[in-house]
Amino acid sequence: MSAARGHYYSGSGNAFWAFLHDAGFTRELLRPEDDVRLPEHGIGLTDLAKGIVQSHDRGLKYDVDQLLIKLHHFEPEWIAFTSKESGKAVARHLGHPAPGLGPQPWTLGPSRVFVVPSSSGANRGGPWDGRETRLSWWSELANLAMHRTNSQERGTRRFN
Quote the CA–CA distance of 149 and 154 in Å, as a whole number.
Answer: 10
pTM of the model: 0.83
In this predicted structure, what is the pLDDT of residue 139? Answer: 97
Mean pLDDT over residues 16-32, rounded?
96
Dihedral sign of CA atoms 29, 48, 129, 146 in order? negative
pLDDT, tens digit, for every residue of 37-48?
A: 999 999 998 888
Average pLDDT over residues 138-147: 92
Instruction: Quote the percentage of the chain above a pLDDT of 70.
Output: 81
Neighbours of 25 (CB within 10 A): 22
* pLDDT reading at 24 higher than 80: yes
Domain boundaries, the chain: 46-155
Which CATH number is 46-155 given?
3.40.470.10
Beta bridge partners of 115: 81, 102
Rounded (10°) CA dihedral 12, 103, 110, 160: 10
Tell me what the mean pLDDT of segment 18-36 comes to: 95
Determine the pLDDT at residue 37.
94
Mean pLDDT is lowest, of 104-108, 127-131, 137-141, 150-154, for 150-154
Average model confidence (pLDDT) across the chain:
84
Other beta carbons within 10 Å of 18? 15
Note the pLDDT tens digit of each residue in 97-130.
999 999 999 999 999 999 999 999 889 887 788 8
Is 51 or 66 the better-scoring residue by pLDDT?
66
Confidence band of 49 (pLDDT split at 50, 70, 90): confident
CA angle at 90 for the pair 88 and 93, rounded to the nearest 5°: 110
Dihedral of CA atoms 157, 24, 91, 119 in degrees, nearest 10, equals -130
Q: Rounded to whole angstroms, what are the CA distances from 157 to 28, 91, 121, 145?
A: 19, 23, 28, 9
pLDDT at 149 over 60: no
Triad 30, 3, 104: Cα angle to 5°: 70
Residue 19 has pLDDT above 50, yes or no: yes
